[in-house]
Chains A and B, each alone.
Chain A
Amino acid sequence: MAIKDEIKKVVKKAADKIDEAVEQAAKEANVITPKMAKIPEGPLEKKWTNYKDHQKLVNPANKRRLDIIVVGTGLAGASAAATLAELGFNVLNFCIQDSPRRAHSIAAQGGINAAKNYQNDGDSVYRLYYDTIKGGDYRAREANVYRLAEVSNNIIDQCVAQGVPFAREYGGLLDNRSFGGAQVSRTFYAKGQTGQQLLLGAYSALSRQIGKGKVKMYNRHEMLDIVMIKDENGEERARGIIARNLVTGRIERFFGHAVVVASGGYGNTFFLSTNAMASNGSAAMQMYRHGAYFANPCYAQIHPTCIPKHGDFQSKLTLMSESLRNDGRIWVPKKLEDAKRLQAGEIKGRDIPEEDRDYYLERRYPAFGNLVPRDVASRAAKERCDKGYGVNNTGLAVFLDFSDAIQRLGKDVVAQKYGNLFQMYEKIVDENPYENPMMIFPAIHYTMGGIWVDYELQTSVKGLFCIGEANFSDHGANRLGASALMQGLADGYFVLPYTIQNYLSDQIGVPRMSTDLPEFAEAEKRVQEKIDRLMKIQGKRSVDSIHKELGLIMWDFVGMGRTAESLKTAIEKIDAIKKEFWTNVYIPGEAASLNNELEKALRLADFIEIGRLMAIDALNREESCGGHFREEYQTEEGEALRQDDKFSYVACWKYTGEDSEPELIKEPLDYEFTERKTRNYKA
Chain B
Amino acid sequence: MWLKDSSVGRKFVMAISGTALVLFLLFHGCMNLALVFSEEAYNTICRLLGANWYAVLGSMLIALLVLVHFCYGIYLTILNRRARGNDRYAVSGKKEGVTWESENMLVLGLVVFFFLVLHLYNFWFKMQFAELTGIHTGAFDPQDGAAYVNALFTTPVCGQIYCVLYLIWFCVLWLHLNHGVGSAMTSMGLNNETWQPRVKVISTVVATLVILPFTIVVLYYFGMGIGALL
Tell me if chains A and B make direct contact, with any CB pair below 8 A: no
Q: A residues within 8 Å of B by Cβ?
A: none
